Structure 1
Amino acid sequence: MSFAGLCAVVVAASLAVPATAGAETARGGPEWRLTPTGTDARFRGLAAVSERTAWLAGSGGTVLRTTNGGRTWQNVAPSDATGLEFRDIEAFDAKRAVVLAIGEGEASRAYSTSDGGRTWTLGFKNDDPKAFYDCMTFFDSRHGLAMSDPVDGRFRIISTKDAGRTWRVLPSKGMPEALPGEFAFAASGQCLVSHGKKDVWLATGGASRSRVFHSGDRGRTWTVADTPLPSSETQGVFSVAFRDSRHGVAVGGDYRPGQPSPNAAATTNDGGRTWQLADRPPAEYRSGAAWPGWARTVALAVGPTGSDLTFTSGRTWTRFDTGSFDTVDCTPDGDCWAAGEKGRAARLLV
């Protein structure tokens, strides 16, 4: 479908979305095609590789992979992962992936595979009881970062240069001090994201202000900027997504069911130095965001109460689906997948 045609059907579909949640898809517009996974795990980790290949990571130590567009999913979890909470996964093709488990102390771990999940290498097991790892990102198939909530007053960053087989803690002197109560939300694997060879962003909440940190040197030094999204123990920036080194969106809100989430989206056009509230944000809390690559101004946002599209680089959003998802990811070619509670996984059809 052409970009102009997609715009038209989304506008028409937005007028047809029921006022109450329950309908999966607005008729006539883009739609999520559910791909049954055979599990009730909650998937907050998702890596879209292509139209045919995607990886999921979720509760109960679950890792799934499809290589046929979601017709079937294979359980490829590490053998010792039972009970772990996987919240992020990065995949480079059908064979190579790195998965992150969250939690206090040794519950935070990173595994890597190079044979499609038949075998895994435990590359990192947290040995600091004060650390709690949330998210992970990769610049290429070898170089990546993962982040922990503040340890001794600063967010902690670990890095890998060998596709997750080994990790080291980066010096903290280049990281600004955290605010009292500040942390990141491990809700979609998108509180730490990168674009290009060196740029990386870290999104936060929990404190008096929600903020986005930025590093232009792969995590060695950072700057930080306030965002206009509300912040509290249950509010903040849950996900950031960048189409290039300057243009990005931030989404979030209050994750508690039934709570209002006004002003839950913002945009930047200067790499995250400043953020502006969306003119028409999603109506409710959103935990994940992605740029599909159909056109420079198009982005997606998802959450437990629905999915939204923007054709204005995040300034205005239109809901097109009311199904529940926690995370969304798109390939450079524009193949998009979403995943969430009760084993839900889907491909986007336009």
Structure 2
Amino acid sequence: MKNIFSIVFLAVGITAFSQQVESLETILNDNVSIRALETDGHTIWYSGTEAKVGYVDIGNPKNQKQIKVSEEKLQFRTLGQDKTSFYTINIESPARFFKIDKKNLTSQVVFTDTVKTAFYDALHFVNDRLAYTFSDSGKDHLLKLAVYRDGKWSPFKNNVVLNEGEAAFAASNTNISSASKYLWIATGGKASRILRMNLKTEKFEIFNTPFIQGESSQGMYSIDFYDDRFGIAVGGDYTKQDANINNIATTNDGGETWQVQASGQNAGYMTCVKIKPGSKGKEMMAVGDQNISYSSDFGKTWKKISDEKGFFVFNWIDGNRIVLAGNKRIAVMKLKF
């Protein structure tokens, strides 16, 4: 969504809420805003502003490299990978799909969308040979998708019609998720709904949610699914970051119905949520511009574990470490339980 913006805060350190946080180590400082991360072995890859793409070795942060894929000041908020390459798309039109070789970091444009309304919100690889990315729609309000099949990108035709003012947030590259049977897309704005596609038939179903919605700044910002039934959604309103009503919800039937959780009892606006590996959906974390929160009961209750500010996206490294990125830095947080 074009009117999303970053509210920048200075880091204030770990507070009294952080008894579960053992350490926080910055591994990259740079003049870049990062909203997309991918883990590849022991390295964390990122894409961001100023046409920057790069990686940092988690175990040896001095081993890092960054490139600019264009002389233009492009903004990237998407990132995905197959076995040999990374892919990222700039948010401005024309939207160029960049392919970056993992070994030598050479880049090339492999697909271009010249439509003036092109604004790609998220990119997701289902497996090494199949990926989907979606953009804000045009005047026809049709869901705009592109698909990657066996090494090639192309438009993906569908008949999904979005409501007036319904779009998505390019906040953390996580408002799209998949499991073995389904792919889910979360929308926001005037309407915040779940678009579920059967990966075998490529047919869509659309489900309403009780999430906060109605204004251009409101809705689901991030989703994650443990399997084809259980999923979590977080978000809120980036213009009212303390607001915490109807901004977290879970589903137990693959996104058909959603139950609001911890309404009025959470830290507020969140941009990224990820289920902890190995927890079978029971444990998860979420970050927002002003907080980091944790749930250990399938998203029903949440505890703020840090007031650390300026992070937009994160990935789990293992069961007790996460890597976070956002305004001008990447950091590794170690948790204790």
Equivalent position of 1:43 in the other structure? 34
Structure 1, gaps ≥5 residues long: 1-20
Q: Secondary structure at the match of 2:137?
A: strand
* Percent identity of paired positions between Structure 1 and Structure 2: 27
After superposition, where does 1:209-228 map in structure 2 within 5 Å? 209-217=191-199, 220-228=202-210
Deviation at 1:78, TM superposition (A): 4.5
Residue 3 of structure 2: aligned partner: none
Measure the CA separation in 2 of the matches of 1:214 and 1:148: 16
Gaps of 5+ in 2: 1-10
**Helix, strand or coil at the partner of 1:342:** strand
Which position in structure 1 is the counterpart of 2:49?
A: 59
5 Å-filtered alignment, 1:279-294, equals 279=262, 282-294=266-278
Name the SS for the 1:33 alignment partner. strand
- CA gap 1:113/1:38 in 2 versus in 1, 3 angstroms: same
Q: Is the 8 A contact 2:51 2:69 kept in 1?
A: no
Whether the 8 Å contact between 1:203 and 1:212 is mirrored in structure 2 is: yes
Per-residue Cα deviation, 1:25-47 (whole angstroms, up to 9, x for no partner): 54541356233313021110111
Provide the residue aligned with 1:144 in structure 2: 131
Distance 1:228 1:116, change over 3 A: farther
Q: Distance in 2 between matches of 1:265 and 1:99?
A: 28
Residue in 1 aligned with 2:221?
238
Name the aligned partner's letter for residue 292 of structure 1. K
Residue aligning to 2:150:
162
**Equivalence for 1:4:** none
Question: CA 1:56–1:230 in 2, change beyond 3 Å: closer, same or farther?
Answer: same
Task: Give, in whole Å, the separation in 2 of the partners of 1:347 and 1:326.
Answer: 14
Pairwise CA distance, 1:195: 2.3
1:267 is aligned to: 250
| CA contact 1:78–1:117 (8 Å) conserved in 2 | no
| Alpha-carbon distance between aligned partners in 2 of 1:57 and 1:347, rounded to the nearest angstrom | 20
Distance 1:219 1:32 in 2: 46
Contact 1:262/1:283 (8 A) holds in 2: no
CA distance in 1, matches of 2:85, 2:315: 17
Contact 2:28/2:330 (CA < 8 Å) preserved in 1? Answer: yes
> What SS class does the counterpart of residue 48 from structure 1 fall into?
strand
Alignment of structure 1 residues 40-189 onto 2, 5 Å: 40-50=31-41, 52-69=42-59, 71-72=61-62, 74-80=64-70, 82-92=72-82, 96-103=85-92, 105-106=93-94, 108-116=95-103, 118-151=105-138, 152-163=140-151, 166-173=152-159, 175=160, 177-189=161-173
AA aligned opposite 1:167:
W
* Residue in structure 2 matching 1:322, options 293, 307, 327: 307
Q: What residue identity is the alignment partner of 1:289? A: V
Please identify, of 285-294 and 26-35, the stretch whose mean Cα deviation from structure 2 is larger. Answer: 26-35
TM-score normalised to structure 2 length: 0.87
Other-structure match for 2:292: 307
Q: Aligned partners of 2:29, 2:272: CA distance in 1, in Å? A: 23
- Report the TM-score, using the length of structure 1 for normalisation: 0.84
| Residue 75 of structure 1: how far off its partner (Å) | 3.5
Q: 1:77 to 1:188 in 2, by over 3 A?
A: same
Q: Contact 1:78–1:120 at 8 Å: present in 2 too?
A: no
**CA distance in structure 2 between the partners assigned to 1:45 and 1:266 by the alignment:** 23
Q: Which residue of 2 aligns with 1:8?
A: none
Distance, in Å, in 2 between the alignment partners of 1:70 and 1:87 is 25
**How far apart are the structure 1 equivalents of 2:172 and 2:291?**
15
Aligned residue runs from structure 1 range 244-259, under 5 A: 244-256=227-239, 258-259=241-242
> Given the superposition, is the C-alpha separation of residues 268 and 81 from structure 1 closer, same or farther in structure 2, using an over 3 Å criterion?
farther
Residue 190 of structure 1 aligns with which residue?
Answer: 174
Cα RMSD after superposing both structures: 2.4
Aligned residue-pair number: 320
Classify the secondary structure of the residue corresponding to 1:154. Answer: coil
Shift of 1:59: 1.2
Q: 1:68 to 1:210 in 2, by over 3 A?
A: closer
Amino acid at match of 2:275: W
CA distance in 2, matches of 1:346, 1:117: 25
**Aligned equivalents of 2:124, 2:226: Cα separation in 1:** 15
Closer/same/farther in 2, CA of residues 65 and 134 from structure 1, 3 Å limit: same
Query: 4+ residue stretches of structure 1 with deviation over 4 A?
Result: 331-335
1-structure distance, mates of 2:326, 2:201: 29
Higher strand share: 2
Partners of 1:78 and 1:193 in 2: CA distance: 28
Q: 2:50 is paired with a residue of what secondary structure?
A: helix
Q: Is the 8 Å Cα contact of residues 171 and 220 (structure 1) preserved in structure 2?
A: no
Q: Secondary structure at the match of 1:36?
A: strand
What displacement does 1:246 show?
A: 0.9
Matched, 1:342 2:319: no
